[in-house]
Structure 1
């Protein structure tokens, strides 16, 4: 069998061993990076929201997206759009923080659209309406600051723009 030279995980699947920064960008081998989120972790909804909020607050929306993705893939079918929408919001913030205005705005809007069926419900205490409003407002600002693929306005600050998943009940 021919050696491919690709990094592999413990099960032999191709997986880059390069360290990553807080926005999920690969760094050179040997560079200090942030700890990656393990894949395929089954968490309770409470653990998912708590861990994702911790990562968002730390300016690591790419890693929060991975936490939501685990819930999306392992949770009940009736909740998949909730977790998928939250994952898209996190990756939209990731793109905006990397300076990708077009991709960031697009994913923020796509995530917000996925969450609309949960508006008014507050699943697991998640303030869906507030997140939909946050995503639309941030997408508009990101588009206004940039242009088609441009970084004119520069990347957004992932920590300053991190959403609050569970705002206090009114």
Structure 2
């Protein structure tokens, strides 16, 4: 049997993420007990997004927080896309840092910070109480500690003031 025929696919042929994962989003063997996945495609208010993402970050689950931010960037207004994408990149950067992938962590932390910098000091663009300068400082300081593997919960940023 061809390997692609064994893959879990939806009706449109897109891969489903049915494989269990650990708290940092790493795949586990089929049948293993994993951490419950974040449901995809959930539309939340910006405030609900930030609350849920902060809860996941504080629990040491930045991979799951990134999925919450991804929903926000896909369902929100176009002018906020880079804001939510930047937050998702920071969460994945923390994920890579916790996994011990210094190169991936540094790259994503840099990209996320650059995305968020577009919103710093701009009037008329909602940032929902995000402390953008503090998040940029957090990302720079986290990068200094690479390549050490990190405890994601201990290193989780505060998103809002």
Q: What TM-score do the two structures reach when normalised by structure 2? A: 0.90
The 5 A counterparts of 1:26-45 are 26-45=27-46
Give the match for residue 117 of structure 1.
118
The match for 2:131 among 117, 127, 132 is 127
Q: What do you get for the CA RMSD once the two structures are aligned?
A: 1.7
Query: Residues of 1 paired with 2:15 and 2:78: CA distance?
Result: 28
Q: Which runs of 5+ in 1 are unaligned?
A: 147-152
Kindly state the Cα deviation for residue 120 of structure 1 after the two structures are TM-superposed.
3.7
Give the match for residue 150 of structure 1.
none
Q: Deviations over 1:45-94 (max 9, x none)?
A: 01110110010000000010011011111111111110010000000000
Q: What TM-score do the two structures reach when normalised by structure 1? A: 0.86
Runs of 4 or more consecutive aligned structure 1 residues displaced over 6 Å after TM superposition: none
Kindly state the Cα deviation for residue 106 of structure 1 after the two structures are TM-superposed.
1.1
Give the match for residue 160 of structure 1.
154
Give the match for residue 149 of structure 1.
none
The 5 A counterparts of 1:91-106 are 91-106=92-107
Query: Residues of 1 paired with 2:99 and 2:91: CA distance?
Result: 12
SS of the equivalent of 2:118 reads helix
Aligned residue pairs total 156
SS of the equivalent of 2:65 reads helix
Give the match for residue 82 of structure 2.
81
Give the match for residue 50 of structure 2.
49
